[in-house]
Amino acid sequence: MSTNVAEQSTTATSSAVEGQDVLRDLYADWATIMATTPDLTMRLFRSIFDEWHQPTVEPEGVTYREDTIGGVPGIWCLPAGADKSKVLLYTHGGGFAVGSASSHRKLAGHVAKELGSVSFVLDYRRAPEFQHPAQVEDGVAAFDALVASGIQAQDITTIGDSAGGNLAIAIALSLKEQGKQAPGKVIAFSPWLDMENKGETLVTNNDTDALITPELLEGMIAGVLGTLDPATPLANPLYADFAGFPKLYITAGSVESLLDNATRLEERATAAGVDVTLSIGEGQQHVYPFLAGRSVLVAEEFKKLAAWYRQ
């Protein structure tokens, strides 16, 4: 079963416009820094992307706690009154190389609060120091540890954005391959799946995406895959077998270069009989849920996500 939910409102509120500008402007600033700093070190590259939290308003009533789950460090997001038996296992975006639990804790906190659950944001091993499948292995290790602690597998949702959306899917696929119980649900915000770097919206949305370019992705692919075949299913889920995959929710922005990663994922999973919901944010940039607390459109998106989660 597949459900398409398109955000087509033509009367954006002032807060929605403001939020969109904040995220787009941050991306444009990063793009300028990367374009004008050819000797940018990995340490500074990661420092820049740790600003990713800036468009997100701090969620009220959420506390944080550092922890290590299954040998993987991370940050718990603990909304007041949340059901601690329901866990969102969050894998952050950043091309497998940048981003962190710190850059994504506010976004993960907003989602956990809206869904009435808790979230653990993984600081998984990053490329290029650690290549695929290290990131997937860390996610599986954390999932296994949560189950060993008494959390039911079906009460765990793997969730992530961009490269972390890839991981949210790949963790579920890896668990299935190993004959283990899969998460109950999977959520992917603007997932980056195409390790062959040949999606058509890389071209058609090149002028509207403020951050992503084929060249940026090419460097990140080399860092995480090395000489690995880019059609390897756990690295590129567009080649995966989705038979028996959990219920899946996907978002993407209509002007982002990775839009067709989301639409191709929907097509492939739907063809395999997966219950898929795809929600496209009209006029929105990559991982537009980062506008949580600032954008009316994102608030509406989270309400839809919560209704889907509680079905």
3-state secondary structure the chain: CEEEEEECCCCCCHHHHHHHHHHHHHHHHHHHHHHHCCCCCHHHHHHHHHHHHCCCCCCCCEEEEEEEECCEEEEEEEECCCEEEEEEEEECCCCCCCCCHHHHHHHHHHHHHHHCEEEEEECCCCCCCCCCCHHHHHHHHHHHHHHHCCCCHHHEEEEEECHHHHHHHHHHHHHHHCCCCCCCEEEEECCCCCCCCCCCHHHHCCCCCCCCCHHHHHHHHHHHHCCCCCCCCCCCHHHCCCCCCCEEEEEEECCCCCHHHHHHHHHHHHHCCCCEEEEEECCCCCCHHHHCCCCHHHHHHHHHHHHHHHC
Cα 311–Cα 181–Cα 152 angle in degrees, nearest 5 = 60
Number of domains in the chain: 1
Range of the domain at 258: 2-310
- How close are the terminal C-alpha atoms of the chain, in Å? 14
Helices 101-115, 296-310: crossing angle, 10 deg rounding = 60
Phi, psi dihedrals of residue 188, rounded to the nearest 5°: -130, 115
CATH assignment of the domain containing 125: 3.40.50.1820
Confidence of residue 9 (pLDDT cuts 50, 70, 90): very low
* Mean local confidence (pLDDT), 11-36: 76
CA distance 158 to 142: 11
Confidence of residue 29 (pLDDT cuts 50, 70, 90): very high
* Mean local confidence (pLDDT), 189-195: 98
What's the pLDDT score for residue 17?
A: 46
Confidence of residue 249 (pLDDT cuts 50, 70, 90): very high
What digits encode the pLDDT tens for the residues 130-188? 999 999 999 999 999 999 999 999 999 999 999 999 999 999 999 999 999 999 999 99
What's the pLDDT score for residue 6?
A: 45
- Look up the pTM and report it: 0.94
Mention every residue, 6+ apart, whose C-beta is less than 8 A from residue 130: none
